[in-house]
Structure 1
Amino acid sequence: MKTLKSALVVSALFTMPVAQADVLGFGASIGYWDSDLSGKAAKGGDRVNVENDLDLSNNNEVNLSAYLEHPVPLLPNVRLSYLRIDQSGRGELGTGFDGIPVGATVDSSLDWRQTDLTLYYEVLDNWINLDLGLTARDLDAELKVSDRAGLYNSETKIDAVVPMAYAAGRFDLPLTGVSVGINGNVVSYGGDSVYDYDIYGQYNYAGVQLRAGYREMAVDYEDGDERLDIDVGGPFASVGFSF
């Protein structure tokens, strides 16, 4: 895996002024994502369109997240999140792919799992909130394609740990429980790139958080002669709690 030179980012995070939580805090949420998938997969010199050739397009995903914030100086706060995309489709190849001839009717499946570990600091913590940190994303994605007769089978697999910059901002409307915000992870290096962001509105009442917005994720990653260039986007809603 290519190496990301992030020493300057790490140095900046450890030298910037940070706001510490006054007490120990914990939160968790579960979200429903109505996502639309597009993009391409490549193996060797062959490419296939996952939407038009494989008919992998719309899907509904469930994602989980949890965070822990604490008042200990210098130690970062911790956030964990998990997402799984599980799709299947039947299409017709407009071009040959990994030995499967052009025009073949194929069954395909995409199993995409990612787990994020984020270490971050609260830079601002009042009615304007700003968190900055680093994310390690464990990405495991596998695309399987086979013709209906069972004569040809193809597997394209990406397995990597991707370091990313993390930022989250939120603006709270005082005394209303209403807020708007944006979360994002991004990295680009060596021809590979990943970005993942969501924009949302939120209502908080007695520690219960109702959130709705739009999320988009794009991954362009090459592992040997295998490559996934995938975009996933759509509206989402989540419910969570914090204390």
Structure 2
Amino acid sequence: MKKIAVAILAPVFIFSGAAQADTLLGIYAGGQIWDTENTGNFGSGDGNQSFGFADEKQNSLYLAFEHPIPLLPNIKIRDNELSTQGMVTLSEDFTYNGEGYAAGTTLASSIDLSHTDVTLYYEIFDNDLLSFDLGVTGKKVDGLLAVRDAQSENSLESDGWIPTGYAQLRVGIPATPLTVYGLANAISIDDSSVRDIEAGIEYRVIENLAVDVNLQLGYRDITIELDDLDGIYSDLQFKGPYLGLEVHF
């Protein structure tokens, strides 16, 4: 995704006095099952088409490393499944990737925008009641958007890095094992934008010197609006609730 990848404006935020939660090395491992409602449309410049996308269950897994070394950012790697399929009987002519489809044609569609996030971030605040992280994320995408009639499949692909700003806020609720949180990755360049926002509540099941185990309940919303990115135009939204589990060593 070359046009976005070369245009990141936000530098990595460097705070030499940023607080670090872990004395030596903290490791966070987690996973989520996400129940998505998928809506929107896509095309290749001759008008977008909606396909009545199916709702899907998606998975997300992550691993983060935090340390006490000033100036050196923490790192989080997150793998995100993001795919759906749909079908439509065209009410008017539709052209995709140079191939025309007449009104009345039944078209199936496949979208796979699964990607890996690599986030470098600093802990601006970090205590039991409030933590705030700030940094940048590179989203590595190998994207596929395809349509298929009775004869053949017609697909467009786009791959590369999408850089976004990153922020996460966590607020502990005093005298309870609960924490509310929100995090966001977002960028907007020209008429293209990517927004990945989630918010939730976390329950600390186990909390001791050896390991912390947290249950998560949240809501995530990914919106992808592309304007001539490698020939792709889209206005797609994946949103819905998720359940998660995080372990901190």
**TM-score, normalised by the number of residues in structure 2:** 0.88
Report the Cα distance in structure 1 between the residues aligned to 2:16 and 2:233, rounded to whole angstroms: 37
Report the alpha carbon displacement of residue 41 of structure 1 after superposing the two structures with TM: 0.7
Q: CA RMSD in A?
A: 1.7
Alignment of 1:178-189 (within 5 A): 178-189=178-189
2:209 maps to: none
- Equivalenced residues, count: 234
Report the Cα distance in structure 1 between the residues aligned to 2:185 and 2:246, rounded to whole angstroms: 21
Structure 1 gaps, min length 5 = none
Report the alpha carbon displacement of residue 161 of structure 1 after superposing the two structures with TM: 0.8
2:218 maps to: 213
Partner of residue 80 from structure 2, selected from 78, 83, 87: 83
The answer to whether residue 7 in structure 2 is matched with residue 4 in structure 1 is yes
Secondary structure of the residue aligned to 2:11 is helix
Structure 2 gaps, min length 5 = 207-211
Report the Cα distance in structure 1 between the residues aligned to 2:31 and 2:190, rounded to whole angstroms: 34
Report the Cα distance in structure 2 between the residues aligned to 1:188 and 1:225, rounded to whole angstroms: 18
- For 1:8-66, what per-residue CA distance to the aligned partner results, in whole angstroms no more than 9, with x for missing partners? x326x1147411232310011110111111111111313211xxxx2213111011111
Alignment of 1:71-220 (within 5 A): 71-95=68-92, 96-98=94-96, 99-126=100-127, 127-148=129-150, 150=151, 152-206=152-206, 207-220=212-225
The answer to whether residue 235 in structure 2 is matched with residue 238 in structure 1 is no
Report the Cα distance in structure 2 between the residues aligned to 1:107 and 1:48, rounded to whole angstroms: 11
Instruction: Confirm or deny: 8 A CA contact 2:15 2:122 kept in the other structure.
Output: no
Report the Cα distance in structure 2 between the residues aligned to 1:224 and 1:87, rounded to whole angstroms: 20
My pick for the range that moved more, 13-22 or 66-75, is 13-22
Instruction: Confirm or deny: 8 A CA contact 2:112 2:144 kept in the other structure.
Output: yes
CA gap 1:133/1:66 in 2 versus in 1, 3 angstroms: same
**TM-score, normalised by the number of residues in structure 1:** 0.90
CA gap 1:190/1:103 in 2 versus in 1, 3 angstroms: same
Secondary structure of the residue aligned to 1:180 is strand
Report the alpha carbon displacement of residue 174 of structure 1 after superposing the two structures with TM: 3.3
My pick for the range that moved more, 97-106 or 231-240, is 97-106
Report the Cα distance in structure 1 between the residues aligned to 2:241 and 2:27, rounded to whole angstroms: 26
- For 1:95-124, what per-residue CA distance to the aligned partner results, in whole angstroms no more than 9, with x for missing partners? 323212222112222222111000000000
- For 1:57-106, what per-residue CA distance to the aligned partner results, in whole angstroms no more than 9, with x for missing partners? 31110111110001111100000111112322332123323212222112
Instruction: Confirm or deny: 8 A CA contact 1:100 1:153 kept in the other structure.
Output: no
Instruction: Confirm or deny: 8 A CA contact 1:48 1:97 kept in the other structure.
Output: no
Matched-pair identity in %: 29
